[in-house]
Every structure is written in C-alpha cells, then in structure tokens.
Amino acid sequence: MHRSLSTLGILLLGALPLTAQGRVAGTVIDSTRMRPLSGARVYAIPAATGGRLQALTDSAGRYRFDNLALGTWVLDVRHERRDSLGVEVPLVAVELREPGEVKADLGLPGTKQLITARCGPDVEVLGGGLITGIVRSARDGTPLAEATVHARWKTFLVEGGKLQRDSGRADVVTGSLGQYVFCGVPAGAGIAVTGVQGADSSGTLDITMPGDRVVVRDLFVAPRTWKAMTLRDSVGDAATVEALAGTARVEGRVLNDRGQPLDGAQVNLSIAGRAARTGSSGMFALDSLPEGTHVLDLRAIGYAPIRVPVNLASDTPVRETFELTRITTIMDTVKVTAVRVYSGAQFAGFERRRRIGTGWFMGVEQLETHAYTYPTDLVTMAPGVFVRGVGPDALILMRGNGGDLCIPTISVDGVRHVGDALDLQALAPVNRLVGVEVYSSNAMIPVELPMAMNGCGVIAFWTGSRAAPGAKKP
C-alpha cells in the first residue's frame, strides 16, 4: 500500500522512550534501477532501548519519522524486491544530537555491488548480467525450495564472416528460501524462463537483459488444468484443442501514451486461449485464467505491442493499468517504377508455385496491405490452419493425415524447423517477410520445399528486402 507524504503513517512497535525532540527523513532508492522505491518499510530502532518504529515510503520513495528522542537510531529497509534480490542491506546509524531534522537517504545495492555479491567479481568484470528472484506458490505466495527454473536463450555470433544463431540453456534449483540466480547472462539476449516444482509450473516469460544488467522476477507456480476449447480457421471449419484454465481473473484499463482510454485494444492470454477487447472506456476483463505467472499480450492498431507478466491467483483478481505507445512512421513519397521487390535463388520458385495454385499464398503485395505484428497473425488467414492464442505464445496447428490436429513443419528460407517452441519472430521478422505459402498435407508439398516430418503439412516463410530496385524518390 502506498501512502502520500502528507498521510505517511508511523507505527509504534514495542516500548519506546517518551521524550521526543528530533526527526529523521529521507528517500529510499532502488539503485539497480535508479528510481525511488515505493512501499518500502523503513524501521527506526533506538540503540539504547527496545522497540522500533515503522514508516512506509510513498510513491516518491520518501519516508519520515517525527518526534524521536535524541540519541542513536538504527535504520533498516525491508521490501519484497530486497527479498527477491537475496542481498543484505547494511543498517544505517543516525545520530540525533540536537532538535531538528537529520536527512538519511537509504537504498538497495547498485548493479555492480549486486552482481559481484551474487555472482563474483569475474562476472561483473566481463559484463555479464544477473537474473534472480524467488519461486513461490501461486496459492499463498510461499517460497518454494527445490523448485527448478529453466532458462533458454538465443544469441547471434559472427563466425567466418557470417552471422550465425546460437542457443543456450541452463537449469537451477532453488535453495531453502526459494531463490534462484542466473549469472553471466549475455547482454541483449532474449531469455525464456519457466519455474517448475513437480507438476506445478509457471508460464514461460520472455526476458531481455536491460542495460543495467539486472532482472528481478519472482515466478509463481500452480497446478495445470486443461480444458477443451473450439478454434475455427479462416473458412469457419472447427477444431477442438486444449487450453490452460483456472479460476483466476485479470481486469484493468488500457491507455494510450497521453493517458487517454484506448478503444479497441486486444488483451490476450494465449496459453489459455482467452482474449478481450477494450471499449470506449479502455476497460477489459479476462476470467477463467490459469493460476501462476503468465504473460498478457496487448496490442492495438497503430501502437507498439507489449507483453506483460502477471501473477494470477484464484482468490485475488489482478487489477492493472497498461499503456501502449503510438507508432510514429514518417514515410517519403515514392514512385514505384519496378515490380520486382525481392530476389534470391531460394525464392525464385515462389511466383511459379503461386501461379499453379496448389497451396495458399501471400506475396509481398498482400503483406504490404495487412496490419500484422507477428508471423502467426498471417497464417490465421489460411484455410486449414488453426491458431491458439496470439503473438510469440501462439500455437499453430493443422489436421494431419488421420484428421487429428498436429504441429506443422515450419520452413524459413528453405530451412526446416520442427517443434511447438519456435521463435518465429526471430526466425522470420515481420518487417523482413516477402512471402508465405501454406500446404496442408504432404501430397500438396512441392518437391523443392522441405517435406513435413509428421504428415502435418508445411508453412514456408520467405524473408528478404522489400526495397524495390527501381523505386525512386520524386
């Protein structure tokens, strides 16, 4: 609970001396993020007697103790972020020698101190980052010992003058206080993190290592309950799939970057197949959601999409306000004097296959006229393709040879990829797509494309430059 400075409360805990002549005030700073720490508990403990006073910092991180007896006082800071960081914050001694105010600013350790304390000096010197937090039960927030946190990441390496993709993985087991630590995380890498204990699990969170090289993220895990839901493809054919379900609820408001309600914004929890659209007030609500830490996907036409972790519990609805930032694009007027906007031997057969018409196709001219954010947005328009959820968490399905739903083979620039955890946004960035083709069975797949490994069809993405060689500015 946050309190303004004018109503900042002080609680008396234990027996304290009645003589009161001084005052201590200051600001608590989270040095890893260089911002005030609101909602922190600051304790003032008299060195000579028992008991302690407590104050809560306001939204600006400010606290104040009035009417303190002269003498030595010891200040201590407590906050859930300190618990998640797993570091000790030194106590601060303050001397009140005469009536008046003493200023005492407090703070959590800075990035360098924190990384050195948790990972050692070598990680700090080499510039690696830190991801830490506590695995908790979604039922009551209890820290969980011997839980496992999985981390997966992809980076790019330059080898032999060529840009190569690399991947890594690491697993850690939490200690007695439920804490996990990943040290030496590559700067700028995108890391997928999941917490697991037995049959309980969190959702998978996408974390990008920020410039300050410290990420604090508690993971709430819960049992997984699946229920059937119906999906429809672009021509109305129905298919039944399973989605996570529960009794949690999230509700809130979506605003634009000027603080105004955003009408028509989409809010999705893909793993549950649940979606809502805001009205003129910007309000939305999603229910029947799985418990634990999961990711909300928010988007609106003309605004940059965001993905936000939420900790869902069955007994307490999550209430949040989200802000989307408008995308400002300034384009010069161009005069197109050529129609060929892509090239490459691998893509040479695209137009020929499209003329034959065996599969479903989307060329660069259609790509330029559709508003989409993720590659999965495009394939929802293809007959026979069923997509559960949106964005990076979306699951693409087709009907296999026996009629059952299955995961298709994905081809990107002629290279086969199989699995339900592909990072399509990295493999085929939307701003680089120049063609998409979909084949719903092996019998339809041209010989020059990779064959489906499971009889489930192929979706081929082609990337390249959309800049027309003959395009000229007036």
> Has residue 5 got a pLDDT over 70?
no
Which residues are CB-neighbours of 392 under 8 A, at least 6 positions away? 206, 307, 374, 423, 424, 425
381 Cβ contact partners less than 8 Å away, ≥ 6 residues apart: 234, 362
Q: Is 431 helix (H, G, I), strand (E, B) or coil?
A: helix
**Of the residues 223, 239, 261, which one is the last residue of a structural domain?**
223
State whether 350 and 440 are in the same domain.
yes
Say if residue 400 is in the same domain as residue 294. no
Tell me: do 239 and 256 sit in the same domain: yes
Nearest to 104 by CA among 114, 91, 113: 91
What is residue 394's predicted lDDT score, i.e. its pLDDT?
83
Residue 256 inside a domain? The answer is yes
Higher pLDDT, 272 or 20: 272
HSE-up of 91 (CA within 13 Å, CB side)?
12
Say yes or no: 125 and 81 in one domain: no
Q: Are residues 369 and 445 in the same domain?
A: yes
Q: What is the mean pLDDT of the chain?
A: 81
Rounded percentage of the chain residues whose pLDDT exceeds 90: 34
The pLDDT of residue 355 = 85
Is 339 inside any structural domain? Answer: no
pTM, entire model: 0.69
104, part of any domain: yes
pLDDT tens readout for residues 246-267? 999 999 999 999 999 999 999 9
Which residue in the block uniquely carries the two structure tokens 């060689």? 469
In this prediction, residue 14 carries a pLDDT of 41
Q: According to the model, what pLDDT value does residue 123 have? A: 61
In a domain, 423, yes or no: yes
377: confidence class by pLDDT, cuts 50, 70, 90: confident
Structure tokens at 166: 């690399």
Residue 54 in this model has a pLDDT that exceeds 80? yes
**Cα angle 136, 145, 204; round to 5:** 45
Range(s) of the domain holding residue 440: 345-463
Q: Above pLDDT 70, what percent of the chain? A: 82
Looking at residue 422, its pLDDT comes to: 66
The answer on pLDDT for 144 being more than 90 is yes
- Provide mean pLDDT across the span 15-25: 68
Residues 312 and 362 in one domain: no
Indicate the residue among 76, 108, 140 that finishes a domain: 108
- Of the three residues 78, 108, 138, the one that is the final residue of a domain is 108
What is the count of structural domains for the chain? Answer: 4
Greatest mean pLDDT among 151-160, 353-362, 419-428, 449-458 lies in 353-362
User: 40 and 89 in contact (C-beta within 8 Å)?
Assistant: no
- Mean pLDDT, rounded, for 281-289: 95
Assess if residue 472 is contained within a domain: no
Q: What is the pLDDT of residues 291-320, one digit of tens each?
A: 999 999 998 988 988 989 999 998 889 999
CB atoms within 10 A of CB 199: 9
**What residues contact residue 413 under an 8 Å CB cut-off, 6+ apart?**
346, 347, 461, 462, 463
> Same domain for 349 and 455?
yes
- Is pLDDT at 190 greater than 50 in this prediction? yes
Residue 204 CB neighbour total at 10 angstroms = 18
Whether pLDDT at 2 is above 50: no
Lowest mean pLDDT of 240-244, 288-292, 384-388, 421-425, name the range. 421-425
Q: Is residue 272 part of a domain?
A: yes
Cα separations in angstroms, 74 against 79, 100, 101, 106, 151: 17, 17, 15, 12, 40
- Per-residue pLDDT, 471: 34
Cα 316 vs. chain centroid, distance in angstroms?
Answer: 21
pLDDT score for 437: 93
Q: Tell which wins on pLDDT, 37 or 208.
A: 37
Report the pLDDT averaged over residues 357-378: 84
d(CA 425, CA 307): 14
Mean pLDDT of the 108-124 span? 74
Tell me the CB-side half-sphere exposure of residue 280, using CA atoms within 13 A.
Answer: 0
User: Mean pLDDT, to the nearest integer, of 198-225?
Assistant: 88
The predicted pLDDT at position 75 comes to 93
Instruction: Work out the pLDDT band at 160, boundaries 50, 70, 90.
Output: low
pLDDT at 64: 95
Q: Is residue 331 part of a domain?
A: no
* Residue 285 pLDDT exceeds 80: yes
Q: What pLDDT does residue 400 have?
A: 75
From start to end of 143-265, where are the E strands?
Answer: 148-159, 162-173, 179-185, 190-197, 200-201, 205-208, 214-216, 219-223, 225-232, 238-245, 248-256
Q: Which two tokens stand for residue 265?
A: 């914004």
**Domain with 406 in it: what CATH number?**
2.170.130.10
120 and 100 within one domain: no
CA angle (75, 79, 84) in 5-degree steps: 130
Mean pLDDT of 325-332: 64
Are both 424 and 364 inside the same structural domain? yes
- pLDDT tens per residue across span 41-50: 999 999 877 6
The position carrying tokens 């090239």 is 343
The verdict on 89 and 29 lying in the same domain is yes
Quote the pLDDT of residue 4: 34
Same-domain pairing of 214 and 246? no
From 59-68, 88-97, 265-274, 337-346, the region with the lowest mean pLDDT: 337-346
For the stretch 364-384, what's the b/e string if a residue is b when 16 or more beta carbons lie within 10 angstroms of its beta carbon? beebeeeeebbbbbbbbbbeb
Specify if 366 maps to a domain: yes
Tell me the mean pLDDT in the region 76-98: 84
* 367 and 455 fall within a common domain: yes
Q: Confidence band (pLDDT; 50, 70, 90) for 126?
A: low
What CATH number is given to the structural domain containing 243?
Answer: 2.60.40.1120
